[in-house]
Structure 1
């Protein structure tokens, strides 16, 4: 399965590199785009769940890395929920061969 990493910037300016075991995330995010915190978390939840389900269909078990990435995103996003209009910047996809 083709995996991919992607870089985001949280509302506090910190950057994080995230992981998906499937390219499905490319259908949910656009590089150099801003998403409301709520929208970003929901798109992450949808895409990483689909990615994990694809791994389960192929290998018989869900992808713990994808589900762990989702947990990390959900936990980190909680830090910014009380900001007036928190946004997450989707910086770029990082393909394996780069």
Structure 2
């Protein structure tokens, strides 16, 4: 199963490299694209859940790394939830 990393920039400009066990991330994000925070969180939940489910289908158990990444994204987003203008940028994919 091909894994990948994707680099995001939080609203404060801080960059973070995120992990996915599947290339499905490329179906939900585009390099150089900004996403309103709520949309970014929805896309992250969907994509990383699908990625984890693909691991489960292949190996019989969900991907702890994908679910952990989702948890870190949700936690990191918390300070920005009150900012209606907050956006997250998908900087790049690392295959």
TM bucket (normalised to shorter chain) is over 0.9
Q: Which runs of 5+ in 2 are unaligned?
A: none
TM superposition shift of 1:84: 3.4
Distance in 1, Cα, partners of 2:13 & 2:39: 18
Distance in 2, Cα, partners of 1:21 & 1:31: 18
Instruction: Point out the more displaced range, 77-86 or 57-66.
Output: 77-86
TM superposition shift of 1:83: 1.6
Q: Which runs of 5+ in 1 are unaligned?
A: none
Distance in 2, Cα, partners of 1:59 & 1:87: 35
Distance in 2, Cα, partners of 1:52 & 1:84: 30
Regions of 4+ moved over 4 Å: none
Question: How many positions carry a matched residue from both structures?
Answer: 95
RMSD after superposition: 0.5
TM normalised by structure 2 equals 0.98
1:7 aligned counterpart, secondary structure: strand
Distance in 1, Cα, partners of 2:39 & 2:78: 13
Q: Which residue of 2 aligns with 1:16?
A: 16
TM superposition shift of 1:82: 1.2
